[in-house]
A and B are shown apart, each in its own frame.
Chain A
């Protein structure tokens, strides 16, 4: 008989085995973030020209480990927790086959250990992209494959839970929007992992000698179906987290469920095609393929992101205005709970993702102007805005929400927590902006020494480039402090936070269920149909939420200006006239 507990503060239901899985995955993710963050500090201190910390070989090893640990391990562990939360808790359903979910978890852990061992043994400094014909040790690929299989099991457990919930009628009507967002993430994840299998299994076989040759161009095409799509899992999932937080903190209802769902549908259909933007400069693939996949398809996906970027703050605005914060354009925003890290984290994530990540992403995805910044430090600048300010900060905000609800502990150091999103989001935004600026001057990514000391083919960057990289270094240190604060607060709360439930001991923080008496075998009441929508007829949403409308216009204008600046740069690259 399945057992549930209901959170006395929020009313959320937790299925006992699902709860343990959420905890275990979230904690495993945090451990990965700890490792990845320390490595990130080493990387940024090396790319800070005045510090130039690591020697060359260590730099490439550490950079490989940093990319993989943060981007793949931290984010996907946490995503598993989100899938179980969105599938089980939000649908008030038991989790399908918890045993399989645990098997997946174990595979993921083994995968992490295997890949990191390979990297730190030194023979696998192939960067996160592991392009052939650069060879890595077999257990480098094997670890990634095991991790992916584990994650795939998690995806199927989520889909299975949807089926269980439907059959057992745990909800009325359609699944909630946040669960729909998780479903979108899950679908993209399945495509991602399938693509990963297509390319990493042959590469593994190549590394042990069963296959003699893997074509480099072929590798890149299929690898990027993994590399890009995996980022779109994050986008779908962190947008779902934005909706969730807006709903929990403000009681905000999406301005139009229909529009938001349609935007997710655009993600499902088109987001993955944009993988082609990583191959814009590759020979051997036609412009037809590049243009179809990056223009027509990508812009539909970008449109979807703009819809989410509009409806999430719009929903908050409507909810705030309904509470009487109606003065002027922005009272609703000024009087938002900026001292609550759940809100500030979520909102900085949204703004950082939209303004820094979104604008630079479209520029990089445009075939002609992408070439100016291809393979420069601009690229890490861009994706630290999306995947760190955007996704990572959203995960952090969600963690603050979950410490009392899921872990039943009170958060420690609330004063520090107040500042944490600003430190992390602010520091990382500095990294993103100044790396992008340095990249525009041509500073290479994945490069140990921008001074080319002692190289026969040297190159002099302007002094500004050094300055920009130095400022990015300062931003990186601030971000690392913010990241450390997050880990201190979360781990500290799990260990020492005031217990909100008498049985919430230390083991319970890491996955052991609470005392039996907390759970009951009674089925949760069926989740009622979502109440009527906040705004009927989405055509006039600009008027229901004028502040958001203004924000969106600012975004649009910034984008257009920046876009044309880049075309101007392009025209100056070859001063032929």
Chain B
């Protein structure tokens, strides 16, 4: 076995989920007929619980465009797409040296992320709290 290239490119959670869905992972309740192996199903189950489950390709490209203004590293954009931070505290862990780079625009950033990326279905129960946060 020879490794030609160890990293052709990074994949967001959404892209892997899309790949598994295109093989029929989501549509098969018996989990036997689709050409998806049990270990791939475990990955599918995990990804369905994350914020990636209702993202779209357009949302991700839009996010990348929006982040160009803030000069974020590729790894940071990847993290943001995978997690969908909904508050300033969550952004602190993702962006290094947050205070120096984006201190006063942090609320703007969080707003952008919440608008561009769709929320996770289970967190819509907490969206009443988000309305209050947005209005603050």
Q: A and B: real partners?
A: no
